Amino acid sequence: MTGIDGKKTPDMSPQERLDPLQRDVYLKVVYSQDRRPPGRYGGQLAAHLRDTVYEHTGTLLDIGCGRGDMLRGFAEAGFDVAGLDISPDVVSYCDPLEARIADLELEPLPYPSGSFEFVFSKSVIEHMRNPMPMLEAAYDALQPGGTAVIMTPSWVHHARGPFFLDYTHVTPFTAPSLDDAMRFAGFENINVIHFRQLPFLWKYPSLFVPVWMFSKLPLPYEPMYQMAVKWPFWFNKLIRFSKEAMLLGVGHKPL
């Protein structure tokens, strides 16, 4: 193979031509122990959703389970869990919990219709050029009366740059567009909110106004900015997640 400069470039194997999401390299780089060390967040979010959205435990499918942080969190919260991910290493990452490899943009759901009471998916649909097959698979996976939670970065809060910290992000969402997409897939009684990933706010929602005011301060933070002086980890997290809100969409499969 010859490049535009006329020099011979090394031929790539079919595996090397795959999108990083389809190779083990994505989780190893973006979700490495150094960049995103495991913490308590998965368990905290799972317990919060159990108590406020799902309202009880049961069978749950995590679509895009990655290295298994949320899958383990839901298992600790009392759910009977299974996971799906495009990464070829998902089975080893999530062991001993059940996880399967699937590309829902191209492949059917690898479970019978109506296998789960709950579906969860976080930070997945923004990686898909056509998210509809995945949302339709989420709908199909649910039992009648089941509940799905779809989380994705809010374009309103990420448009100035944070969305493209991950170059594999290709499809941004706003609250109205996520609402529409979930309706197109068949979900009913949909509610989409802006959601900040700060567990103390879930417990004390009256603190929202101070956090919102804090988010307006022009404070740099990692990984968005290169900082000569690094904040303490907790303070950098407070800056980042006061600014970078998620969308949390809840939809139901009719009885």
- CA-to-CA dists, residue 21 to 30, 64, 79, 148, 171, angstroms: 10, 10, 27, 23, 15
* Residue 132: closest CA among 175, 78, 79, 171: 171
190 phi and psi angles, rounded to 5 deg: -85, 140
Per-residue model confidence as pLDDT tens digits over 45-59? 999 999 999 999 999
Indicate the domain borders of the chain: 20-199+245-252
Q: Helices (H), strands (E): how many in the chain? A: 10, 7
Kindly give the confidence (pLDDT) of every residue in the chain, 255 residues in length, as a single tens digit, with 9 standing for 90 and above: 444 455 554 554 444 455 667 666 777 776 666 666 677 999 999 999 999 999 999 999 999 999 999 999 999 999 999 999 999 889 999 999 999 999 999 999 999 999 999 999 999 999 999 999 999 999 999 999 999 999 999 999 999 899 998 889 999 999 999 999 999 999 999 999 999 999 999 999 999 999 999 999 999 999 998 888 889 999 999 999 999 999 999 999 999
218 phi and psi angles, rounded to 5 deg: -80, 60
Find tokens 């780089």 and name the residue.
Answer: 29
Find tokens 């998965």 and name the residue.
Answer: 42
Output the pLDDT for position 59: 98
Output the pLDDT for position 240: 95
Output the pLDDT for position 235: 96
* Residue 120: closest CA among 82, 93, 88, 92: 82
Output the pLDDT for position 228: 80
Output the pLDDT for position 112: 96
Return the CATH fold of 20-199+245-252: Rossmann fold (3.40.50)
Output the pLDDT for position 35: 66
Contact by Cβ (8 Å): 90, 70: no
In terms of DSSP bridges, do strands 142-153 and 246-252 run parallel, antiparallel, or are they unpaired? Answer: antiparallel
Per-residue model confidence as pLDDT tens digits over 122-160? 999 999 999 999 999 999 999 999 999 999 999 999 998
